Structure 1
Amino acid sequence: MYRSYNNRSRNRSSKGMMIILALTLGVVIYSVKSFFFDEMAIASGNNMNKEQIELIVKEYLQNNPELIADSLKAAHEKTMKESEEKAKVAISSRKKEIESTKTSPFEGKNDADVVIVEFFDYRCGYCKTANKTVNQLVAEDKNLKVIFKQYPILGEDSYLAAKSALAIFEMDAKKYVTFHNKLMEIKQINKESINNLVKELGFDFAMFEQTMTKKSIEEELTRIRDLAKDVNINGTPAFIINGELIPGALDLDNFKAKIAEIRKNKSK
């Protein structure tokens, strides 16, 4: 199941690159079309052949390399802007689902004025760093709510870790955060290290193994993958804070600044 999703991710990336290349080519052609028309007219009058015309175009691009760089930049910016707009619409339309805690664990105040939704992978180094920042935020700010979305994108061990965390959540929701934080501290996550942690924390191991096979866990991970795709999340960590997508980790000061900005806007 993980592999099939990974293949779809690669296919989307390939399509994205093809779109960017096509846009770039279009911008380059548009930028130099007046030059082409002038040279073609001259070439026609001079009875120049295809090779001679191609040489003129090649020399022009070599003498004006900034055209290609500018075109790549413009195409990238256009694609990014379109993706951001699409993500905003998707986040707005699926806000209730994104912030639902019916099947997703959370910590903090249930009716907090600021909601942070985190998409993460237990094997992601940046996620491990971000987790320390999030823990500090929740400890200092008693009016925050952090919702955890398991988004395993770094291999089979990531998928296994996500399933194990959701299994613990189903077994005892109150102990999820403890398990989550301990799992984030493990450098080499695999079946053995996960099982050792389950036993170390005193969970019923037989029940844990049985819970891991539940269909509800597979369904939750599928929902999160589809949700991440819909709101244009392609890596971890990624945060949605009160409806705004923030890809990548923020440091503590930037998190606090963003939260303060949200509260200020709410008070207007």
Structure 2
Amino acid sequence: MPLRHLALAALLVGTALPAHALDLNAMTDEEREAFRAEVRSYLLENPEVLTEAISVLQQREQEQQIEADEALVRQNMDAIANDGHSWVGGNPDGDVTVVEFMDYRCHYCRQAFQEVEDLVSGDGNVRFILKEFPILGPQSDLSSRFAIAVQQLHGADVYKDVHDALMLLQADADEGSLTKLAESFDLDPAPIFDRMDSPEVQAVIDENHALAQTLGISGTPTFVFGDQMVRGYVPLNLMQGIVEEERAG
């Protein structure tokens, strides 16, 4: 095989070549220098080959990441979908479960908020779970503690109302704004603030963080659609497509 063709084959098929074909240690010094010169010459004349090779490598890495994520989701499905403390909405008996790890101060969580609502209400057969995952600083932590305390004191329906209000809150999340938010739902803020630093609220946050660490989640939003994990913002049409993929099996 001419060295020019060998260089092209090395880039495009990699391990498909016999191991000895690219063993530089088996070449003489002259053969090695000639090989390197041909590779360099070919790449300078055809730089698009590098783009193609990098694209193939990135695709393989993405496929490997998807497979690894799916394995993690399957191994931890009970903790993801049935932890006993996360809010569950949509259709409790839906054929596809969608889980969102979210942070109230996350711009992309806020961007996805209405689209997730539209997905759940428009589909009618999605079981939707919210995971409180505060990672963006003190206001995130304060907001999640407030929401979890509301859920533990006042139940799922009131929690969802407060969750939605926190997602739309334009002010800083502090004692003053959270007091006003509680009062807007006719809730006494004092017991909520007392509850926020309780072991019960801390346990929810700790458990969600531990699960996220197990799943390799470090950003928000992160979604789990069935057994697919999707990191980052997903527009409504893509969410609908993923749900249909899961539904089709």
Question: Into which bin does the TM-score normalised by the smaller protein fall?
Answer: 0.7 to 0.9
Change (3 A) 1:39 1:161: farther
Residue 167 (1) aligns with residue 168 (2): no
Match of 2:214 among 230, 233, 236: 230
> Which of 113, 129, 135 is 1:153 aligned to?
135
Q: Residues of 1 paired with 2:54 and 2:120: CA distance? A: 41
Output the CA distance in 1 between the equivalents of 2:109 and 2:215: 19
- The alignment yields a C-alpha RMSD, in angstroms, of 3.3
Q: 1:127, 1:225 → 2: CA distance?
A: 17
**Deviation, structure 1 residue 86:** 2.7
The runs of 5 or more residues in structure 1 that have no matched partner are 1-26, 44-55
3-state DSSP class of the match of 2:246? helix
Secondary structure, counterpart of 1:136 in structure 2: helix
TM-score by length of 1: 0.70
CA distance in 2, matches of 1:131, 1:109: 18
CA positional deviation for 1:142: 2.4
Distance 1:202 1:84, change over 3 A: same
Q: SS of the counterpart of 1:118?
A: strand
Alpha-carbon separation, structure 1, partners of 2:119 and 2:146: 25
CA distance in 2, matches of 1:155, 1:231: 21
Q: SS state of the match for residue 86, structure 2? A: coil
Structure 2 matches for 1:1-268, cutoff 5 A?
Answer: 40=29, 79-100=61-82, 102-174=84-156, 175-191=158-174, 192-265=176-249
- 1:66 and 1:253 map into 2 onto residues whose CA distance is 33
Output the CA distance in 1 between the equivalents of 2:25 and 2:151: 64
Identity %: 24
2:55 and 2:171 mapped to 1: Cα distance?
A: 39
Residues 83 and 38 of structure 1: is their aligned pair in 2 closer, same or farther, counting only changes over 3 Å?
Answer: same
User: Contact 2:112–2:234 (CA<8 Å) still a contact in 1?
Assistant: yes
Structure 2: which 5+ runs fail to align? 1-10, 16-21
Q: Secondary structure at the match of 1:249?
A: coil
SS at match of 1:123: coil
Q: 1: CA distance between counterparts of 2:160 and 2:170?
A: 18
